[in-house]
Structure 1
Amino acid sequence: MSSISFFEKGEGQPIVLIHGFCEIGEMWADFADALSNQFRVICPDLPGCGNSPLSLSQNSLEEVAVQLEEWMEENSIHDPIVIGHSLGGYVTLALLELMGDKLQAVGLFHSTAFADDEEKKEMRDRTVIFLKKHGVDKFVTSFVPPLFPEERREELDSEINLAIEQAKRCTLDGLITYTKAMRDRKDRFEVLKNFSGSKLMIAGMLDGAVKIDASRKHKEAVTDYFELENTGHVGMIERKEESLKIVREFCVRVVSR
Structure 2
Amino acid sequence: MLLVYKNANIFYTDQGKGSVVVLIHGFLENSTMWDKIVPELTKRNRIITIDLLGHGKSDCLGYVHSMELFAKTVEAVLKHLKIRKFILVGHSLGGYISLALAKMNTSKIKGLCLLNSTSEKDSEERIKIRIRANKMVQNNFENMVKMSISNLFNQEHVSTYKEEIEAIKKEALKTSLQGYVAANEGMKNRLNTNAVLAENNFKKLIIVGEKDLVLNLESSKEEAKKTNSELVVFPDGHMSHIENTPELILSLKKFIKSC
TM-score between both structures, scaled by the size of structure 1:
0.95
Q: Structure 1 residues 62-71 or 115-124, which shifts more? A: 62-71
Q: Which runs of no fewer than 5 residues in structure 2 stay unpaired?
A: none
| 3-state DSSP of counterpart to 2:213 | coil
The equivalent residue for 2:68 is 62
Deviation at 1:251, TM superposition (A): 0.2
State yes or no: 1:172 paired with 2:145. Answer: no
CA offsets, 1:80-132, max 9 Å, x none?
10110000000001101111121111110000101111111101101101111
The equivalent residue for 2:244 is 239
State which of 84, 94, 106 in structure 2 corresponds to 1:78. Answer: 84
The equivalent residue for 1:108 is 114
Q: Are the aligned partners of 1:81 and 1:103 in contact in 2 as well (CA < 8 Å)?
A: yes
Identity of aligned residues (%): 28
User: Partners of 2:134 and 2:64 in 1: how far apart?
Assistant: 16
Displaced runs of 4 or more, over 2 A? 56-59
RMSD of equivalent CA atoms: 1.2
The equivalent residue for 1:224 is 230
State which of 156, 166, 170 in structure 2 corresponds to 1:151. Answer: 156
The equivalent residue for 2:219 is 214
State yes or no: 1:127 paired with 2:127. Answer: no
User: Partners of 1:151 and 1:57 in 2: how far apart?
Assistant: 37
Q: Are the aligned partners of 1:200 and 1:222 in contact in 2 as well (CA < 8 Å)?
A: no
The equivalent residue for 1:138 is 143
The structure with more strand, counted as a fraction of residues = 2
Q: Which runs of no fewer than 5 residues in structure 1 stay unpaired?
A: none
Q: Are the aligned partners of 1:201 and 1:222 in contact in 2 as well (CA < 8 Å)?
A: no
State which of 201, 205, 224 in structure 1 corresponds to 2:206. Answer: 201
User: Partners of 2:189 and 2:62 in 1: how far apart?
Assistant: 18
User: Partners of 2:85 and 2:124 in 1: how far apart?
Assistant: 36
Deviation at 1:69, TM superposition (A): 1.1
CA offsets, 1:17-45, max 9 Å, x none?
00001100111011111110100111100
Deviation at 1:58, TM superposition (A): 5.0
